[in-house]
Structure 1
Amino acid sequence: MSETTRSETRPISAAFDALTPIVDAVNDGAFHLAYWYDENDDASIAEAGRRVTRKVLSALGIRAGEHLLDVGCGPGAPAVLMASESGARITGVAISDEEVAHARRRAAAAGLAGQVEFRQADYMELPFPDAAFDGVVAIEALLGAPDLPAALRELHRVLRPGGRFAFCHCTKEVALEDGQMTRFNTSTWGSELPTLSQWLDVIRSAGFSVEEYAQFGPRVLGQKDRYHQALAARRTELVSTAGEEAVGRFEQSMAGFFAPEAGTIGYALIAGRRSRD
């Protein structure tokens, strides 16, 4: 990683370091949103989060023995789940040392340390050779990319020709009020939120062939009160382990992220492959 890239990502890395113990506790090691069928679905936030991971895994179609790159792997729960259910070998990367440490402990506890590897790395400048992976997955990891087209080109570079990808991200469905958009963008490191059409365009422009996409925003973002409730239920415990300041920042970020009205933000899963050269 160049010194320029390192200096640009250091503030984000430090923020994730502070948030990791909170996410690990509230969402059982998954730094992504969850999926509920309706208001009567009583799944925990952790179990509903695993539904998202499994949807991504199903769309990806990775097979036993293949090598998958998990970009922005967080505290490691999705990678461990995908490895255990697919038999694939998985390398997860995150810019946060704390996330990597939590992820390694999780893989070891699951008995998968030999199948799942975690490394500190920036997805804008990956430490892997060309065509190193059979699959690439990014679950909400690209939203904060400082240069989304460049990030996608880097993922394209490390994916073998014919290799498969699955990206899962929020989408802008309708125009938002300035205040709501500002609060949302602040919670995602200031990045502009693309529409689904814009996501498809930028992914294709990077050289990927899109073969499937699905929109299930209402089942992910339509249950936003559940995220607040899950955090509130464990707030005292979290303050004792992560500190009041970190918990307060997380609450503020959640408030901004969920500020837009229902139906204005979507959640898309986009899958396909790198065209054969």
Structure 2
Amino acid sequence: MTAELPATPETVARHYDAITPFYEIIGSRSLHFGYWPRGEVGGSFGEAQHRFTDLLIGQLGSQQGQRVLDVGCGLGEPAIQLARSTGCVVEGITISSKQAAQAEQWARRHEPSGQTTFRCADAMALPFPVGSFDAAWAVESLFHMPDHATVLRELARVLRPNGRLLVADIVLSADATPRERAFLQHAFVARTFITAEAYPELVGEAGFEVEQVLDVSAHVMATFDAVAAAIQEKEAEVLRAYGAEFLAGVKAQWARISESASRCMGYVVLTAKRRSLET
């Protein structure tokens, strides 16, 4: 585990309220890393984000009619992509009331079947009864949470026995320096980053049987170069939306983030199932 920073639900919400339009400009409404199959380069950052969502949908394995919880749903695009691809029903939660409203408005226009709904809620205390969902995923959201273990226990509570869980998360290597950890936590508004090696035990202790831990670092770390290229390409739009000071600052900050990430950051996709009540 890394040292904790004073990221709070309120600071995370304010961060996304302020920065979400920037991510939309340079990528898409999917506020997560992109994915590049082995040997493939190029293409837009937004296209790579949608490829990653498709990969996660395949890993989760949800089916038509099942109820899925999206923890940290952002603007709702991955949830809509999941619902369209599988026929499942998705309920997304985010700590940002602004994001929840935007996601709900977008879904009403682009996913009128009613398979997706969104609300503002805290993953540390999920507002759902025991066994409410068949599956859940948390895509790049757990590192924002005050306590991974509490969120995972909450997910175990609201999943039915044998319900599936997918976690897609940034991890740091054990040899990351305290300075690197603190800088990256601040840059990503993260409460904690953990190591890939620590994840299975953490998930298992929360009531899950871990099925697979997939290291996708080699496929997603090109995100850093893709974002830098997108900032350059969309410079005029970023300038109009945020001003010259922000543009200069984000270029300098992203270069530093990319340098640190190349030394000690990775990415895992973990799948597990909720243990049955008999085990």
TM-score, shorter chain, exceeding 0.5: yes
Note the C-alpha offset of 1:47.
Answer: 1.2
Question: SS where residue 125 of structure 2 aligns?
Answer: coil
**CA deviation after TM superposition for structure 1 residue 259, in Å:** 3.3
DSSP 3-state at the match of 2:92: strand
Preserved CA contact (<8 Å) 1:24 1:75: no
Q: How does 1:1-277 map to 2 (within 5 A)?
A: 8-37=8-37, 41-112=41-112, 114-243=114-243, 254-255=254-255, 257-260=257-260, 262=262, 264-277=264-277
| C-alpha contact 1:80 1:112 (8 A) present in aligned 2 | no
Q: Distance in 1 between the 2:189 and 2:23 partners? A: 17
Quick check: 170-179 or 26-35, which moved more? Answer: 170-179
Instruction: Give the deviation of 1:103 after TM superposition.
Output: 1.4
Are residues 8 and 186 of structure 1, via their aligned partners in 2, closer, same or farther at CA, if it must alter by over 3 Å? closer
For structure 1, which runs of at least 5 residues remain unmatched after alignment? 1-6
How far apart are 1:176 and its partner, in Å?
Answer: 2.0
Q: Quick check: 237-246 or 162-171, which moved more? A: 237-246
Pick closer, same or farther for the CA change 1:194–1:256 going to 2, 3 Å: farther
Q: Distance in 1 between matches of 2:250 and 2:15?
A: 10
Residue 111 of structure 1 and its aligned partner are, at CA, apart by 2.9
- The number of equivalent residue pairs is 271
Which stretch has the larger CA shift, 184-193 or 23-32?
Answer: 184-193
What's the TM-score, normalizing by structure 2? Answer: 0.88
Sort the Cα spacing of 1:209 and 1:246 in 2 relative to 1 into closer, same or farther, 3 A: farther
Alpha-carbon spacing, 1:248–1:86, altered in 2? closer, same or farther (3 Å): farther
Q: Secondary structure at the match of 2:212?
A: strand
Question: Structure 1 residues 14 and 244, CA, compared in 2 at 3 Å: closer, same or farther?
Answer: farther
* Alpha-carbon shift at residue 222 of structure 1 (Å): 4.0
* Identity score, percent: 28
Paired with 2:62 and 2:203, the residues of 1 have a C-alpha distance of: 20
CA RMSD of aligned residues (A): 2.3
TM-score (norm 1): 0.89
Structure 1 segments of 4 or more deviating over 6 A? none
Aligned to 2:4: none
Give deviations 1:81-139, integer Å, cap 9, x for gaps. Answer: 11110110000111112211221232123233611101011111111111111110011
Separation (CA, whole Å) in 2 of partners of 1:150 and 1:253: 32
The Cα offsets for residues 202-246 of structure 1, whole Å up to 9 and x where unpaired, read as: 111111111112101022114521111112321321332355566
Q: 1:23 to 1:138 in 2, by over 3 A?
A: same
Where in structure 2 are there 5+ consecutive unaligned residues? 1-6
Q: Distance in 2 between matches of 1:144 and 1:63?
A: 29
Distance in 2 (CA, whole Å) between partners of 1:243 and 1:102 is 23
Letter of the 2:218 counterpart? P
